Amino acid sequence: MRHYHAKQLFDGEHFLHDVRLSVSDGLIIGISKQPQKTDEVLDGLVSAGYVDTQVNGGGGLLFNQQPQLSTLRTMLAAHSQFGTTAMLPTLITDSLEVMQRAADAVAEAVQLDEPGIVGVHFEGPHLSIAKRGIHADTEIRSLSDAELALFCRQDLGKVMITVAPENVSPDLIRDLVKQGVVVALGHSAATVETVLLAIEAGASGFTHLFNAMSGLSARDPGMIAAALNDSRVYCGLIADLIHVHPYNGRLAYRCKNWQRLMLVTDAMAHVGCDLDVLPWLDTQITRHGNKLTLDNGTIAGSALDMASAVRNAHQHMHIELGHALNMASLSPAAFAGLEQLGQLKVGKQADFILLDRQLSVVSSWIKGEQQMTQTAAAQSKG
């Protein structure tokens, strides 16, 4: 058992001051107002660890390019420096063979109980060519029995998929949801009618709201209006101030509140390392400051980390801090059905982070185990 004296702690509902956080066997077993007899003082704000449901890479590696266990470890190490304590490694549209290798890597991680790897997100390949973004048009295809079997594997932890509802029927969505798959809609040019049928069939989320989806206009509400208007569904938001104007982020918050809005990174290999240029299909993805683009200028994922996403939501979208923290933890955990995560309450998993005044991550813990700190990571790199 270990006791921490948290100078400030946000439990998902309230900001508490000078409390004792007690952890045993990877779980939170007590939060009390008696900060005496503690093993360690956490001088800052303690929050639930961040849960990222869309992360393609980190630490110089991209999951698509090296779909293996070591990549997942590198990604987690890169992102845990920025507060991510649970992630759905995300595979962009690819061949069935790569999808299977990625699934096998995730299954291995789940079997080994690898810290922070809680499932997988297949973003594609059943998308709309018109809204494909950087996804390879040659690999975008309809859903066959082979992919259906893959999505319904029971050894992958939580499985999330992003599909375009004009490419996957409501019946198929119903089947997938029945088998435990979390279905999000995105990379789609669908009409609002098609989107609403998909929601009725069980689709429960939207992938990177505002990006790569049919827009909102007077006589054509499209996917954005359905996402903002339907109170059942969750929306992922890339709060890097590049993908989405902060004023639109604020609009999403006004419509969805924190309970249905979740911060995601959509990070490529560039997070947590000094990589600039990443080869991609027949082109490359280059970093310009915080922006990643293909040579033709198309935005190509992000260089965002969760700590910056929370900071941007709070400072630039004027979302109160507790809500911004929940949008990075409780809301994505609820969306993915990870009931043990996202909040600091007795009985929950001891995934927590220590933040300084600038909301930078000082340290993070998964199941009560402290992860490498930023300073330690920087030292080991140099």
3-state SS assignment for residue 333: helix
| Catalytic residue chosen out of the listed positions 266, 274, 295, 356 | 266
Helix or strand run (H / E) with residue 92? strand 84-92
Cβ proximity of 325 and 34 under 8 Å: no
Structure tokens at 86: 């649970």
8 Å CB contact between 355 and 7: no
Closest CA to 86 of 376, 356, 338: 338
Angle at 369 between CA 368 and CA 372, to 5 degrees: 140
Residues 6+ apart with CB under 8 A from 118: 51, 86, 87, 88, 110, 157, 158, 336, 338, 341
Element (DSSP H or E) covering residue 334: helix 330-336
Listing DSSP states for 212-278 in one string gives: SB---BTTB-HHHHHHHH-TT-EEEEE-SSSSS-HHHHHHHHHHHTGGGEEEE--B-TTTTS---EE
Give the C-alpha separation, 122 to 224, whole Å. 21
C-alpha span between 72 and 66 (Å, rounded): 9
**Cβ distance 207 to 265 under 8 Å?**
no
Annotated active-site residue 282? The verdict is no
d(CA 94, CA 280): 12
The residues annotated with a catalytic role in the active site are 266
